[in-house]
Amino acid sequence: MASLTRRNTLRLPVSTRVLIRPRNRGELVAALEALQHSGIPRVILGGGSNLFFAQPHFGGAVVDTSLMTAVVVREESIVADAGVPMPRLVRAAARQGLGGFEYLVSVPGTVGGGIFTNAGRGRRLGLNLSDWVESVDVYTPGGLQTLTRAECEFGFRWSVFQRQTAWVILGARLRALPAAPAEVDQRIRIRMDWVRRRQHRDKPNAGSVFKAGYRIDNRALRAGGAGFSNRTRNWIVNLGGATSSDVLKLLSACRQAHLARGLPAPTLEWQVV
């Protein structure tokens, strides 16, 4: 058994039968091929910020990409492995005089997870990681592929990888805009200052819970050690000792509250395992 408690940002007590931590794309492909032949169910784990384990134990294999952190910047192009944290991507680009996507510096996920969910700053602002993606390298059961941005079928918090669940993101090529490092650093400071003032960061959380249809104020809802944040709308936080069961109860209560008011149930943003 391997603990995943420190590998999910809600810090829920979760374990897995097998934990695999590839260091590069070659090791990741080898692991995926071995799992494919074994028939053991698997899930890909990036930053653990958008992946919810609904049960305290996962009976398959978790492939943790957090050791895959290679980033290469050439001219206005950035090639990054799937496990590269978003803040590292932003800062690596800034050191080479590139920017444009500084708003991603506050995203706790990785490049692979960000592409999977098309991470960004919300529907109203229209700022998404997909705006900067040129191509994505992908493992498929039939072989390796490189997809164009159009082939990734990006939408709001959506990509083709949510439909093609057998495909795994290995890394991506992104474009960026020339920018003075000092200007990028200033935009990063402005973004992080906003985050410190507006977001509930002093308790473990997994960011936005719902991607659409969240229509009521649930800040008073609590279940065990979990509760909706009283500071950041649409966030669940671990108030102390929260479990997957507590979070499931909160999600159910929120759904029922919407239905009781004649509203459709909101659409979950998290990937549930």
pLDDT (tens digit per residue) in 19-41: 999 999 999 999 999 999 998 99
Calculate mean pLDDT across residues 47-57: 94
Amino acid at 224: G
Whole-Å CA distances, 50 to 32, 75, 103, 151: 21, 32, 18, 23
Predicted pLDDT of residue 126: 65
201-272 has which fold?
3.90.78
Residue 123 has pLDDT above 80, yes or no: no
Q: What CATH number should be reported for the domain whose range is 71-196?
A: 3.30.465.10
Is the pTM above the cut of 0.85?
A: yes
| Burial class (CB within 10 angstroms; exposed 0-12, middle 13-18, buried 19+) of 102 | buried
Q: What CATH number should be reported for the domain whose range is 2-64?
A: 3.30.43.10
Predicted pLDDT of residue 233: 86
Predicted pLDDT of residue 124: 62
Residue 121 has pLDDT above 80, yes or no: no
Percent share of the chain, pLDDT over 90: 78
- Spatial neighbors of 5 by CB under 8 A, at least 6 apart, are 11, 12, 13, 14
Distance from C-alpha of 67 to C-alpha of 55, rounded to nearest angstrom = 25
Domain ranges for the chain, please list them: 2-64, 71-196, 201-272
Calculate mean pLDDT across residues 184-200: 88
Relative orientation angle of helices 181-198 and 86-95, to the nearest 10 degrees: 150
Predicted pLDDT of residue 231: 86
92-101, 141-150, 157-166: lowest mean pLDDT where? Answer: 92-101
Predicted pLDDT of residue 125: 62
- 224 DSSP β-pair partners: none
Whole-Å CA distances, 34 to 12, 13, 28, 210, 245: 28, 27, 10, 34, 32
pLDDT tens digits for range 226-263: 999 988 889 999 999 999 999 999 999 999 999 999 99
Predicted pLDDT of residue 107: 87
Binned at pLDDT 50, 70 and 90, residue 214 comes out as confident
Residue 141 has pLDDT above 80, yes or no: yes
Average pLDDT over the chain, rounded to an integer: 93
86-95, 211-220, 225-234, 253-262: lowest mean pLDDT where? Answer: 211-220
Binned at pLDDT 50, 70 and 90, residue 209 comes out as very high
Dihedral, CA of residue 36, residue 157, residue 86 and residue 187, to nearest 10: 170
